[in-house]
């Protein structure tokens, strides 16, 4: 892999083939490889500096536009209520509602490790390159005592802002330290503002968390100091390919999550009929467990080191997330004895909490690859034929 990465023009297909079997856990290799295979970096090294500078400046601009400027406008409006327009406050409170949702999810990222509750090595002030209060989003959340109805009174001149001053000194002190989960919060907020059609949906935090973890852990400080901005572009690329899974209106489409779950169950029936029959007889529908597995790329079913290793394979696969179907089938076949002997209650609990029974992630990946290679040898290919709407309806999916 080092030889591939040392070339002036990187052979991306060869790199993906190597990465499929895992990146080294030490050094900067994985962080660099993920940037490349997720198209955050061009294959031509001569273009790296210009590309990275452009992306990082753009991200800095987004933060200023969506976080710094709205706070400045809010403060200006507070000082001059007659100049305030309804749109300013409406947008501000809508954003605060969005922030509240993101904050709850970002705070609980991987509670079994300390990383996300630790101070960020490079808070926003370092890459924005101006006087930026790193706790700005935190302050907006902590001071959400004013409801939208109260803001309406403000616009009528009766009440402007009713923020308690109790504990302001403590809040200011706390806001001087920015934690890694707050970086994730900011990333998701910027993404939601830029993607109004998708916005933020619960679970996106589980996708962006491991990416930020990998990039920020890079021992090369010249790379890790820009982990936030680079994570944004890697995450955006991943979301461009799995966005339909998060959009409910796309559920019934041939690229929606219902189709993916149905295709996975078809694969299971093909490769392990006994397990499929048990689930079918017990009326354990795909959406009872596969919805979370596939939408979150199995990130909630594994510890973060195993998730990262699995994502080496998913990100580098030639059909990208097509391999995910085989991984899900592999898991079901590897825990088949428990499933076949279990009743409905036992199996439901097992499928919704597999962390204690899953074999080593490398065993899962090898099994998934074995199943796919078996299909390839039979000339059926790794791609399962897209199902019609009638076939989708037969599976009786519902959110």
Q: Is the predicted pLDDT of residue 324 greater than 50, yes or no?
A: yes
pTM value > 0.85: no
- In this prediction, residue 322 has a pLDDT band, given cuts at 50, 70 and 90, of confident
User: Per residue in 14-53, pLDDT tens?
Assistant: 999 999 999 998 899 999 999 999 999 999 999 999 999 9
Q: What pLDDT was estimated at residue 320?
A: 74
**390 domain residue, yes or no:** yes
Same domain assignment for residues 252 and 374: yes
Same domain for 54 and 176:
yes
Residue 171 has pLDDT above 70, yes or no: no
Instruction: With cut-offs at 50, 70 and 90, classify the pLDDT of residue 321.
Output: confident
* CA 92 to chain centroid: 25
Whether 148 maps to a domain, the answer reads yes
More reliable by pLDDT, 304 or 79: 304
What is the reported pLDDT for 337? 97
Mean pLDDT of 117-135: 67
- Residues 16 and 317: their CA atoms lie apart, in Å, by 7
Q: Is 344 inside any structural domain?
A: yes
In a domain, residue 77? The reply is: yes
- The residue among 375, 296, 284 whose CA lies nearest residue 328 is 296
Claim to verify: residue 225 and residue 261 sit in the same structural domain: no
9, β-bridge pairs: 44
At residue 350, does pLDDT exceed 80?
yes
- pLDDT band for 383, please (50, 70, 90 cuts): very low
Q: Enumerate residues 6+ apart whose C-beta is below 8 A from 40.
A: 34, 55, 230, 233, 234, 237
Say what percent of the chain tops pLDDT 90: 61
Averaged pLDDT, 130-144 = 55
> Model confidence over 74-88: pLDDT tens digits?
555 554 544 555 566
Could you tell me which residues are beta bridge partners of residue 179?
Answer: 119
The reported pLDDT for the residue numbered 90 is: 76
303's tokens: 């510890």
Of the three residues 243, 276, 303, the one that is the final residue of a domain is 243
Judge whether 304 lies within some domain: yes
Assigned domain for 127 exists: yes
Asked whether residue 118 falls in the same domain as residue 256, the answer is: no
Q: Among 86-95, 148-157, 220-229, 237-246, whose mean pLDDT is lowest?
A: 148-157
Task: Establish if 204 belongs to a structural domain.
Answer: yes
- Last-in-domain residue among 189, 211, 243: 243
Specify whether 172 is located in the same domain as 288: no
Q: How far apart are CA 179 and CA 367, in angstroms?
A: 38
Q: Are residues 224 and 140 in the same domain?
A: yes
Residue with tokens 């510890």, as numbered in its chain? 303
Mark whether 187 and 50 lie in a shared domain.
Answer: yes
Range(s) of the domain holding residue 232: 45-243
Examine residue 8 and state whether it is found in any structural domain, yes or no. no
Which among 243, 269, 304 is the end of a domain? 243
- Does the pLDDT value for residue 380 go beyond 70? no
Is residue 192 located within the same domain as residue 90?
yes
| Range with the poorest average pLDDT among 161-165, 289-293, 368-372 | 161-165
Same-domain check for residues 272 and 178: no
pLDDT score of 347: 98
What does the pLDDT read at residue 154?
Answer: 32
Domain count, the chain: 2
> Does 208 lie in the same domain as 291?
no
Pick from 202, 204, 210, 254: nearest CA to 231: 210
pLDDT at 186 over 90: yes
Q: Are residues 308 and 353 in the same domain?
A: yes
Least confident of 190-194, 297-301, 329-333, 393-397: 393-397
Residues 268 and 235 grouped into a single domain: no
Greater confidence (303 vs 130) lies with 303
Distance (Å, whole) CA 67 – CA 228: 15
Mean pLDDT of 322-339: 97
CB atoms within 10 A of CB 201: 17
């Amino acid at each position: 892999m080092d030889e591939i990465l040392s070339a002036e023009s990187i052979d991306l297909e060869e790199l993906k083939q190597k990465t499929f079997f895992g990146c080294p856990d030490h050094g900067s290799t994985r962080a660099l490889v993920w940037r490349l295979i997720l198209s955050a970096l061009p294959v031509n090294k001569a273009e790296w500096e210009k590309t990275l500078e452009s992306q990082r400046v753009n991200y800095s601009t987004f933060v200023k536009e969506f976080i710094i400027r709205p706070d400045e406008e809010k403060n200006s409006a507070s000082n001059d209520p007659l100049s305030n327009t309804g749109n300013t406050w409406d947008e501000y409170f809508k954003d605060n509602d969005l922030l509240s949702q993101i904050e709850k999810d970002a705070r609980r990222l991987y509670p079994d490790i300390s990383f996300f509750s630790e101070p960020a090595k490079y808070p926003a002030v370092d890459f924005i390159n101006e006087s930026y209060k790193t706790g700005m989003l935190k302050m907006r959340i902590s001071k959400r005592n004013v409801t939208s109805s109260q803001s309406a009174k403000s616009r009528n001149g009766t009440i402007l802002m009713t923020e308690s001053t109790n504990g302001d000194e403590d809040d200011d002190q706390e806001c001087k330290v920015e934690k890694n989960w707050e970086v994730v919060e900011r990333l998701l907020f910027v993404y939601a503002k830029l993607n109004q059609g998708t916005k933020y949906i619960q679970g996106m935090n589980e996708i962006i968390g491991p990416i930020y973890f990998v990039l920020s852990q890079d021992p090369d400080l010249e790379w890790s100091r820009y982990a936030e901005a680079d994570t944004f572009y890697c995450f955006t690329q991943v979301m461009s390919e799995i966005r339909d899974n998060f959009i409910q209106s796309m559920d019934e489409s041939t690229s929606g999550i219902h189709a993916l779950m149905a295709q996975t169950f078809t694969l299971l029936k093909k490769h392990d009929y006994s397990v499929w029959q048990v689930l079918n007889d017990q009326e354990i529908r795909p959406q009872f467990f596969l919805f979370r597995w596939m939408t979150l790329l199995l990130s909630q079913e594994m510890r973060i080191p195993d998730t990262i290793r699995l994502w080496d394979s998913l990100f580098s696969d030639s059909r990208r997330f097509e391999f995910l179907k085989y991984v899900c089938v592999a898991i079901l076949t590897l825990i088949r004895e428990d499933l076949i002997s279990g009743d409905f209650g036992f199996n439901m609990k097992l499928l919704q909490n597999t962390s204690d029974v899953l074999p080593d992630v490398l065993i899962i990946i090898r099994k998934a690859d074995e199943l796919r290679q078996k299909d390839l040898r039979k000339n059926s290919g790794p791609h399962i034929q897209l199902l019609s709407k009638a076939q989708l309806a037969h599976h009786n999916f519902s959110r």
